[in-house]
């Protein structure tokens, strides 16, 4: 999808009026209406109609059915060329100022789907729209939203663009008295979309947009904890996970393949994982330390989770630390070797989501020094290696490091949705 292909048309109608919200089944009716609108839009997207602007007919039909805004109150958005409609209900919250950050190289988002999303959000928000053009661009855009005191930033893309945006917004740290940070909205458009799935946001982009619209209309937000990693080379916030060792090597290899035009498919991930596993299992050994306890030495792989699952293999969750949550501290899963027995045991735990050990337990019970290390709900810990090891943050390769300090930050970010 390129910027030249971007042709905004009309605007998706707002979900039905919330005047019936006090009735016992009002939430059910709203869910049904959102799904019905999504079906109508998806039917249009899958049709063979040659004129993209025939979307207006679909939108007009939804608007007439719901009667939720006044077309006489429409005004043109001067900078973006998009129509925005002011809602007719008196109890409507003030219009939020938001930035939509679109990754045009997102794995699963088509031009027509993105067009529908832009029009829908333009109806509800005072919306600015921009495209990422290079790696790290999302960080700059998040900073711009922070400096211009926007109410929200909505990321349309995968976990990578989400991570960049939140790092830009948190340039000066989480919100505190006298320091306001925009809320973050997510519309999945990548290959795994781990963050949006962990938030229970629908994987369908149109339905995910419905969640954003409802959050805007009803003021439904959620405050979540984040992780932070500090190394001699960089400092980075993360929403879902970070990793050192073979985990990061796999990510780096996938990025190289995508740079050559390869798609991030489950099959490609599987082949890459097998290849990296057999390529060189003599990884540098690391020592993990945490306040008040003896060091844990000799690990070769470290996976840090701020939420569950860790990732997905297609539709299958892969979860070393199934108890990880946005409402708790960080969880850690570490391996002392990549030998066959340890690897099989680790893979079994990841795929079955077996939760072994109590909070804070050092090693899984019933085994010797070759056992798996699992820690739950940790506020801080450090990794130290004799030589640099690869590191990844939220699925993005960050090079190598010999020291990494991880800390948990409860309630660091406000997100749009339930």
Dump pLDDT digits (tens) for 139-192: 999 999 999 999 999 999 999 999 999 999 999 999 988 899 999 999 998 878
Which of 187, 163, 210, 217 minimizes the C-alpha distance to 393? 163
What does the alpha-carbon distance between residue 87 and residue 217 come to, in Å, rounded to a whole number? Answer: 10
Q: Give the percent of the chain with pLDDT over 70.
A: 61
What is the value of pTM for the model shown?
Answer: 0.72
pLDDT, position 315: 77
More confident residue, 140 or 341: 140
Which of 106, 295, 92, 87 minimizes the C-alpha distance to 196? 106
Strands 97-102 and 152-157: parallel
pLDDT at residue 254 tops 60: yes
Domain 3-14+29-219: give its CATH code. Answer: 3.40.50.10330
Helix (H) or strand (E) holding 39: helix 26-45
Give the residue carrying structure tokens 């999808």.
Answer: 1
Q: At what angle do helices 159-169 and 137-147 cross, to 10 degrees?
A: 40
More confident residue, 101 or 29: 101
Helix (H) or strand (E) holding 214: helix 205-218
Which pLDDT tens digit goes with each residue over 206-236?
Answer: 999 999 999 988 888 999 999 999 999 999 9
pLDDT at residue 20 tops 60: no
What does the alpha-carbon distance between residue 318 and residue 51 come to, in Å, rounded to a whole number? Answer: 42
Q: Can you give the residue ranges of every domain in the chain?
A: 3-14+29-219, 228-416
Reported as a pLDDT band with limits 50, 70 and 90, residue 47 is very low
Task: Give, as one character, the DSSP assignment of residue 12.
Answer: P
pLDDT, position 82: 29
3-14+29-219 and 228-416 agree in CATH topology: no
CA torsion 78-5-102-196 (nearest 10°) is 130
Computed over every residue of the chain, the mean pLDDT equals 75
Helix (H) or strand (E) holding 404: strand 396-416
Across 83-97, 271-285, 360-374, 376-390, the highest mean pLDDT is recorded for 376-390
Buried b / exposed e over 91-112, threshold 16 CB at 10 Å, is eeeeebbbbbbbbbbbbebeeb
Mention the CATH class of domain 228-416. mainly beta
The 3-state secondary structure of 99-162, one letter per residue? EEEECCCCCCCCHHHHHHHHHHHHHHCEEEEEECCCCCHHHHHHHHHHHCCCCEEEEEECHHHH
Reported as a pLDDT band with limits 50, 70 and 90, residue 7 is very low
Per-residue pLDDT averaged across 395-412, rounded?
Answer: 95
């Amino acid at each position: 999808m390129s910027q030249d292909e971007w042709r905004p048309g009309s605007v998706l109608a707002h979900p039905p009026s919330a005047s019936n919200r006090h009735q016992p089944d009002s939430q059910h009716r709203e869910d049904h209406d959102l799904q019905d609108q999504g079906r109508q839009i998806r039917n249009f997207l899958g049709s063979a109609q040659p004129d993209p602007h025939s979307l207006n007919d679909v939108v007009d039909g939804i608007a007439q059915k719901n009667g939720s805004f006044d077309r006489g109150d429409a005004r043109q958005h001067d900078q973006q060329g998009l129509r925005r409609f002011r809602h007719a209900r008196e109890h409507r919250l003030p219009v939020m100022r938001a930035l939509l950050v679109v990754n045009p190289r997102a794995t699963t988002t088509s031009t027509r789907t993105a067009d529908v999303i832009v029009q829908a959000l333009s109806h509800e928000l005072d919306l600015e729209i921009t495209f990422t053009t290079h790696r790290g661009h999302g960080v700059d855009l998040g900073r711009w939203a922070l400096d211009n005191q926007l109410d929200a930033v909505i990321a349309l893309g995968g976990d990578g663009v989400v991570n960049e945006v939140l790092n830009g917004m948190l340039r000066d740290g989480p919100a505190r008295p006298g320091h306001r940070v925009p809320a973050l909205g997510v519309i999945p458009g990548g290959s795994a979309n781990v963050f949006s799935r962990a938030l229970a946001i629908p994987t369908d982009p149109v339905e995910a947009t419905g969640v954003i619209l409802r959050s805007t209309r009803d003021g439904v937000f959620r405050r979540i904890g984040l992780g932070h990693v500090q190394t001699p080379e960089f400092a980075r916030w993360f929403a879902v996970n970070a990793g050192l060792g073979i985990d990061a090597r796999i990510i780096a290899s996938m990025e190289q393949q995508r740079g050559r035009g390869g798609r991030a498919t489950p099959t490609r991930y599987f082949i890459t994982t097998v290849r990296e596993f057999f390529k060189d299992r003599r990884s540098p050994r690391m020592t993990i330390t945490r306040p008040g306890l003896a060091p844990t030495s000799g690990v070769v792989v470290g996976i840090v989770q701020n939420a569950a699952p860790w990732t997905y293999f297609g539709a299958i969750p892969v979860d070393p630390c199934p108890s990880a949550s946005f409402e708790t501290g960080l969880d850690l899963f570490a391996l002392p070797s990549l030998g066959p027995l340890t690897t099989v045991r680790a893979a079994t735990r990841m795929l079955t989501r077996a939760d072994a050990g109590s909070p804070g337990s050092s090693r899984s019970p019933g085994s010797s020094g070759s056992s798996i290390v699992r820690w739950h709900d940790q506020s801080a810990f450090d990794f130290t290696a004799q030589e640099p090891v690869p590191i990844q943050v939220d699925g993005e390769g960050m090079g190598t490091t010999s020291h990494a300090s991880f800390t948990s930050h409860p309630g660091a970010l406000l997100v749009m949705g339930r």
